[in-house]
Every structure is written in C-alpha cells, then in structure tokens.
Structure 1
Amino acid sequence: MDTPSADEFEWLTLDEDEELLWGDTPHRLSLLLSIGVGLPLCLVIVGIPLVVSSYLHHTNTNYVITTTAVYKKRGIFSRSVQRVEFDKVQNTSYQQSMMGSYFGYGTVEIATAGTGGVEMRFRNVESPREVQTKINERSAETENGTNGEDAEAVLDEILTELQAIRQSIDEPAEASSAESDRSKAEPAASGTGTEESL
C-alpha cells in the first residue's frame, strides 16, 4: 500500500502534527455488479441512471487513514466528511463477498467506544485485511502513547508532592536544630559572664 499525496484529497485538512498514511476510493471492480444489472436495463432507459449513479458514487467516495484519525468522504453534489479519532476506536473487522474475495476487495468496519456499534465503514476497499491492520496498529500506538503520557504526568505529580512533603519536614527540623544550638550557646555565654563578675 503506497502512501498517497495529500494533494489527491483536496477536501482533507490535516492538523500540524498529522500525516497522511493511506487513502483510496472503492475498488474499481466493485462496480461490476451495478454495471451488470444496469446495462441490460439500459434498453428500457432505467439502467442508464443506475450505472451513472454508481460510477459517480464510486469516484466521489474517499477513505483516508492519517496518524491521528480515519476519514470517510462522500457526496456527488454535496460533501459529507466523517472523522473518527484513533483513541475512540474500540474494534475493527472486515468482510469480503465471494466476488470481493476473488478480486481482492472488501468492507472494513470500525466500531467506536460509546456508540456500541459500527461508526464507519470503508466499503469495497482493496486489501481490506491490510487496511484493518493499519487501523489497528495506529489505534494501539495511540493508546500506548496516551497511556505513557498519562503515567508520566502522574509520576511528575507524585514527585512534586514528595518534594513538597520533604521540604515541609526539613524546615521544622532545621528550625528546631537551630533553636537547640541557640539554647546550648546561651547557658555557656551566661556562665562566662558570671565567672567574670566574680
């Protein structure tokens, strides 16, 4: 799977730290069913809109994986862009029909936490298992990165608290030590003064 250029997806706006990893349209051969049904119907004029509609839906649908999220863009006359961040991805799966298995395309389903179901589908994408693997890898990396940052933040907080506790313990100890030294010095000073007066 080659890394595409962001110029291929003019509708996509990436964040500063976000990079494009994969992007594609539905597999060309997934149009065979629509064409197979539409061509005979062209004789009665009903099939022409079916074939044209299938082709336009195919060319105006994009699926994208970046370093932070997955995107799905649809729309012929209007545009609908759906985004799911990797930290929300709960589960992924892929399915292939008999024709999809033969020609190497299938549908990848992405379920998210909180919805309890499939949030996004990449329909008829080439090499669905590879696409699913790429999503799972990025999701795991994001989860590990977030957990690592959380653990580091907690450790920093604990260290700061321990330093504050140590400082609060050391200050009274130093003060009582100084007071003890002063009290020892005072009797010695008063003793010398008495001897001089005698």
Structure 2
Amino acid sequence: MQGNSDTPSWVTLTEGEQLVWNGHPSLRSVGGTFVVGLILIAVGIGIGALFEDVIRLLSLVPIGLGLFIAGVTYVNYRSVQYVLTAEEVYKKSGIISRNVVNIRLDRIQNTSYTQSLPERFLGYGHIQIDTAGTGGSDLILEDVPNPEHVNGLITEYLDKVRPQPDEQPQSA
C-alpha cells in the first residue's frame, strides 16, 4: 500500500502504516561549501566584467569550478533522504545507483543522537540506531535537522511497537 503524497515512491507502506517523518540532511550542514561555490561564480563573473580578452577567458575557470562545487554539493544533499514510518526507519542514498537501508522498529535496541557545538548552534546532528546482535551502530542518520525531535519521534514509535512488561507472554 502506498501512503499519502509525502511518502517517497521507494517506500512501501503496509496496511495501516503511516508516514511519521520524512527529511533530508540539514541544508546548514552543506551551506558553507555551497556558498564557496557561489562566491567562485561571483568572482568569475566579476573578473569577466572588469577585464577583456585573455583574462576574460580565464574568468571561466572560477565560474566552472564554482558551478561544479555548488552542483556536487546540491546533488549530494538531495541524494540522501530519511523516512520514519510507524513500523520502520529508512535511509536512502544515491542518484544513479540507489542504496536503501531499512530497519524495523521492533529490531531496534537503542537510539541516541549527538551534536557538536557548531551543530547545536546550527540545529542539526546525528542519530545512531543500534539493533540487537551487532557491535556498532547499524544505521546513522547524518546531519538530521532538529535531531532531538526526530530521535523523540523514533522513541515514541519504538514504545508503541515494543510489548509492555505486563503484555509479555506467559511461559508454561
């Protein structure tokens, strides 16, 4: 069953499952690199406007480099997407080749989030998701906007899929 219009085409929802959160890494995490690309473009345009002949031709170098940096930064940003449903967490990466990792909420043992000082100031961070039987993080959602909120959503839905202590099956 496909969900509402916000559900990405690569996510298949089961009957009754709903989309909880859908996002990309924070634009703030790539903003500096993107701005460098735009500055190079502006410098190239400025050189082209001020000078003539050979120097004007040389202005194409910073313009091309700036377009490349800004373009690659934007494509990398758009190529990663995170989805939380009532039953699973997904991470998709890639444009030409696609890699989708999904973890069922009932398999998750622990979640945590981290933010460095600059990341706290800019409002993004990383969420680590651990499942049973592994030594490290099974899935890391990088540069998530408002990671405290998103981690809280994951925890909220984890509590809904985990059996409560009074619901544990009785052994005979």
TM-score scaled by length of structure 1: 0.65
The answer for the alignment partner of 1:57 in structure 2 is 76
SS, match of residue 82 in structure 1: strand
**Distance between the aligned counterparts of 2:63 and 2:148, measured in 1?**
40
State, as a whole percentage, how many aligned pairs show the same letter. 34
Cα–Cα, structure 1 residues 6 and 28, in superposed 2: closer, same or farther, change >3 Å?
Answer: farther
Q: Using CA pairs under 8 Å that are at least 6 residues apart, name the structure with larger relative contact order, 1 or 2.
A: 2
Distance 1:12 1:146, change over 3 A: farther
Whichever of the two has the greater Rg, that structure is: 1
SS at match of 1:137: helix
1:155-194 pair list within 5 angstroms: none
Task: Report what 2:57 is aligned to.
Answer: none
**In 1: Cα distance, 2:165 partner to 2:78 partner:** 36
1:7 matched residue in structure 2: 5
Partner Cα separation in structure 2 for residue 13 and residue 83 of structure 1:
11
State the secondary structure of the residue aligned to 1:7. coil
What residue ranges of structure 2 are gaps of 5+ in the alignment? 42-61
Which residue is 1:140 aligned to? 159
Change (3 A) 1:110 1:45: same
**2:13 alignment partner AA:** L
Question: Is it true that 1:81 corresponds to 2:119 in the alignment?
Answer: no
Q: Distance in 2 between matches of 1:147 and 1:53?
A: 52
For residue 133 of structure 2, give the secondary structure of its aligned residue in structure 1. coil
CA distance in 2, matches of 1:115, 1:10: 30
The answer to whether the 8 Å contact 2:105/2:158 transfers is yes
Which amino acid in structure 2 is aligned with residue 114 of structure 1? G
CA RMSD of aligned residues (A): 2.4
* Residue of structure 2 in register with 1:131 after alignment: 150
Q: CA deviation at 1:98?
A: 3.0
Aligned residue pairs, count: 149
Q: Show CA shifts across 1:72-101 (max 9, x none).
A: 111111221110011211111112233321
Question: For 1:94-124, what per-residue CA distance to the aligned partner results, in whole angstroms no more than 9, with x for missing partners?
Answer: 1223332112111111111112211111111
CA distance in 1, matches of 2:156, 2:143: 21
Q: Distance between the aligned counterparts of 2:96 and 2:67, measured in 1? A: 18
Give 1:6's aligned amino acid: N
Distance in 1 of aligned mates of 2:4 and 2:165 = 26
Q: Is the 8 A contact 1:87 1:143 kept in 2?
A: yes
